[in-house]
Amino acid sequence: MNAKRFFGSMLLAIAAGIAAVLVYTTIDQEEPTYIVQETPGMQYVKLPPAETVAPTDFIVAAEAAVDAVVHVKTKAYREGSGNPFYDFFFGYRDQGEPAPVLGYGSGVILRSDGYIITNNHVIEGSEEVEVILNDKRSFDAQILGTDPTTDLAVLKIRENNLPFLTFGNSDDLRLGEWVLAVGNPYNLTSTVTAGIVSAKARNINILRGEELSIESFIQTDAAVNPGNSGGALVNTRGELVGINAAIASRTGAFSGYSFAIPVTLVKKVVEDVIEFGAVQRAILGVTIVELDADAARKNNIDNIAGVLVTGLRQNGAAIDAGIQVNDVITAVNGVPVNSPSELQEQVSRYRPNDKISVTINRKNRVIQMVVVLRNLEGGTGVVEKPGPISALGASFDELTSSEKRNLGIKNGVKVVGVSSGKFRSEGIKEGYIITQINNRSVNSLKDIERIVEESEGGIYIEGIYPNGLIAYYAIEL
């Protein structure tokens, strides 16, 4: 390429570049022009400017909740490992004080006179429960009742004029609605996080070890961590809509979703425990699965809505009312149910002997049935609160004549098992033989039940271990 051609090409390139810059600058600075193509018959409406939506304010809800959410600390005792060979050859020996096992969680004050709700898994197996208020006051708590099927427990402290949360309505929660989670994560004091309702009536199979468990969780993305269990889920008005119970995580820490027990279940459990001392669980008596397209096609069902009945409990409420296998339950008292968890939640709101209206789709024919709900035993009566002997946390067996003769005693009842309860917390071991309670002779389990039921405040136990060691225990009831 000669010099003239080279410099000519360069001049052309420079000129083109300058032209491009000038065109770009002009386009960038000019106002855009919009061409509207009018369509015959089309009308144009002038809309008012959109209203500015105020940001959601969590302050009122947070301030209402933090004082009503408590820190729950628990203590259980783990026995030291024994040596059965030593005991066999050298006789029973005292293995020292049981080692304390500490736990923590959260709870919510529901009444000014000290009634508190928490998760059953927070206090399960505990011998001592301490409640710490947001103002740092501390109280010993009594476990009034538990319900493993919903993972709820009711506590009571002796105090009045306490701040408390009012019940909201979890049925009114909508997907996308803002909620706050309040609790004590990682053993910290009250912590507030925010999120939205992601799903309702969620079953995560976390209570699968419990017969007739009820899982109908509110799913949110509010951050919840260990220690939040038993804490409050509140709406932006500061009303209680759920009790935080679980998280979805591969690590044990929050990773996106948390789950709360709806307040409709919470309210029922609390009312039952306070009124009856035990939860009055109503049973419909059906085995059910979710109705999907395959099941609907197989059973010639046109409308894919409801839950499919696959089995019936003999002498149960459903079979007595006329419900049949392959029926589809679509509503309870007019409330639609589209999953097993939704049906379980609806039925759990009622007590045995309550009447409910059940809507059935039977071969594409809608039928209304009145069902009288039953209890677990198949009756309609009230389930009694477990007797005071259950608080001892022990199982017993009567002595044989040879055992009495070898120990040189005339009467007694042997402790054959110790679980969570008063006996373990006082250090009573398996093998201990109770000879007297409150200076009254003990010969049978009925004797123990009668004396304990008649005692107020506590009992004084006298007895002997198989190696001849005489021991005395004072137990507060």
| Catalytic positions | 121, 151, 229
Q: How far apart are CA 330 and CA 327, in angstroms?
A: 9
CA distances from 212 to 61, 327, 381 (A): 34, 21, 19
First vs last C-alpha separation in the chain:
109
Sign of torsion over alpha carbons 250, 255, 261, 262: negative
Any idea which residue has 């033989």 for tokens? Answer: 433
263 in Cβ contact with 117 (< 8 Å): no
Question: Cα angle at 10 between 8 and 15, to 5 degrees?
Answer: 95
How many other C-beta atoms lie within 10 A of the C-beta of residue 324? 12
Judge whether 119 and 128 are in contact, CB under 8 Å. no
Q: 95-101: long-range contacts (C-beta < 8 A, 24 or more apart)?
A: 95/429, 97/427, 98/424, 98/427, 100/75, 100/76, 101/75, 101/76, 101/77
Question: In this structure, are strands 328-332 and 355-362 parallel, antiparallel, or unpaired?
Answer: antiparallel
CA dihedral 316, 322, 324, 327 (to 10 degrees): -120
- Maximum Cα–Cα distance across the chain: 131
